[in-house]
Amino acid sequence: MFNEKVTAAEGSNNANIRDLASKIPIRNPSGKGSAIDKRQSYSEILGSTMKQGGIEIGDNTQAGQSLVEVGTTFEKIGMLEREYLSDVYTKFFKPFSNHLQVEWGTIATEKRRLDLARLDLDAAKSKVRGARTPETMQQNEQKVRECQAAFDRQYEQTKILLTDADRKSAEFTVYLEEFIRSQMNFHEQAHKMLEEAYSKMKK
């Protein structure tokens, strides 16, 4: 029964979580000089293009001046977006990825060891049934006891890891809360910048 639970956890939860992680569209900021620090966001590109267009039209004209102002706003939003992505990586994606690679990677390894221990136990039991002499029977029975003990140890080890993984998965909602908080902060600040730009244009 427990082995079925391990198999289910390995084949279902792990696969689903890994599939989710692979779909998260975020660049990995490895530190100073990383892609997330150097590459412009779409908002920055849009803002830069609008500013350039405004200058070409003439920033002394109403249209040109408006383009420059709005472009500046989008450049600020773009910089804010990069800060937001870095924040999401640190507070959500990094611990999430570590949870997958370390926790579930270890469980997969221990599950394979449990499978091997079960195969050794099955093979030892098969030899007992095929023994033809009392001496061979005694040797094979001793081997069964050794394999059973090894299987039991691996069973408990895998059980402990699965129980701990379940606990950590429940605690993982904290990281999701941080992700939502980062989203809220980003959109709140971006909305405020756009409102200020809109107010200037309406004057």
End-to-end CA gap in the chain: 72
Mean pLDDT is highest, among 36-40, 100-104, 136-140, 188-192, for: 188-192
Residue with structure tokens 């990094």? 94
- Per-residue confidence band for 113, with pLDDT thresholds at 50, 70 and 90: very high
Q: Could you give the angle at the alpha carbon of 101 between the alpha carbons of 118 and 162, nearest 5°?
A: 45
Sign of torsion, CA 157 114 167 30? positive
- Compute the distance between CA of residue 11 and CA of residue 5 in angstroms, rounded to an integer: 10
Is pLDDT larger for residue 166 or for residue 183? 183
For residue 144, pLDDT over 70 is answered with: yes
Environment class of 151 (CB within 10 Å of its CB; exposed 0-12, middle 13-18, buried 19+): buried
**pTM score:** 0.56
- Per-residue confidence band for 121, with pLDDT thresholds at 50, 70 and 90: very high
Q: What is the pLDDT of residues 31-48, one digit of tens each?
A: 444 445 567 888 999 999
Is pLDDT larger for residue 201 or for residue 14? 201
pLDDT at 19: 53
pLDDT at 37: 55
pLDDT at 38: 63
Amino acid type, 197 = A
pLDDT at 174: 83
pLDDT at 185: 93
